[in-house]
Structure 1
Amino acid sequence: MQVNKTKKGSELYAAIEGRVDTTTAPQLDAALKDELSDITCLKLDFAAVNYISSAGLRVLLSLHKSMLHKGEMILLNVNQDLMGIFEVTGFVEILNIQ
């Protein structure tokens, strides 16, 4: 998994590539959590994500909770397979998916 980040003012855009699984989820968490202190908008681009495990879902939930009082977190370009996972788990009700 790879995370390519771009910060513009108080917005952080992160393009994630590959699998977000038990091995890579902690890397995603570490790559983003350290940068959230002055961020009001976190945009996660999932165009190149082909799999997410329960560990990845936990990271998304944790990031969402971190952003609740600071601004917003938006998931972009989620493919149909991942959208199915988000629907089954109820994450479509929690996360802002565009």
Structure 2
Amino acid sequence: MDIQTKKESRATVVTVIGRMDALTAPEYETRLGAMIDDGEKNFIIDFGQLDYISSAGLRALLTTGKKVKSLSGAMLLANIGGAVKDVFAISGFGTMFPMHDSVHDALGSALG
């Protein structure tokens, strides 16, 4: 898994590339946790290049989402497709986070 970040005017865009599973989810949590500790509270998670997400990845997403919410921030998801979209639909995660077709759409939405 590779994680790339880009600071936009209204949020930090976090692009997750590859697989988010039991081996890589802790890195995601650590990276986002550090950004949250540094004062970031609005995130767009770009899953356009994510090939696979396991229950450990979903758990990491939920954990960071709860931290952001506790700070009155926002975590929006973008570019979810393929097998990852299927996992979100089956697990119910598609209703837990605002989902957008693109990062551009997410940036244009209401952020906390």
TM-score when normalising by structure 2: 0.80
Partners of 2:62 and 2:48 lie apart in 1 by 19
One-letter code of the match for 1:57? L
Pick the structure with more helix per residue.
2
Describe the superposition over 1:11-66 as per-residue Cα deviations: whole angstroms up to 9, x where unpaired.
Answer: 21111110001100001111111101322311111011000000000000011101
Q: Which runs of 4+ in 1 moved over 6 A?
A: none
1:10/1:40 contact within 8 Å kept? no
Q: Alpha-carbon deviation of 1:97?
A: 1.2
User: Identical aligned pairs, as a percentage?
Assistant: 30
1:73 correspondence with 2:50: no
Counterpart of 2:6?
Answer: 6
TM-score when normalising by structure 1: 0.91
Unaligned runs of 5+ in 2: 101-112
1:13-32 aligned within 5 A: 13-32=13-32
Unaligned runs of 5+ in 1: none
Pick the structure with more strand per residue.
1
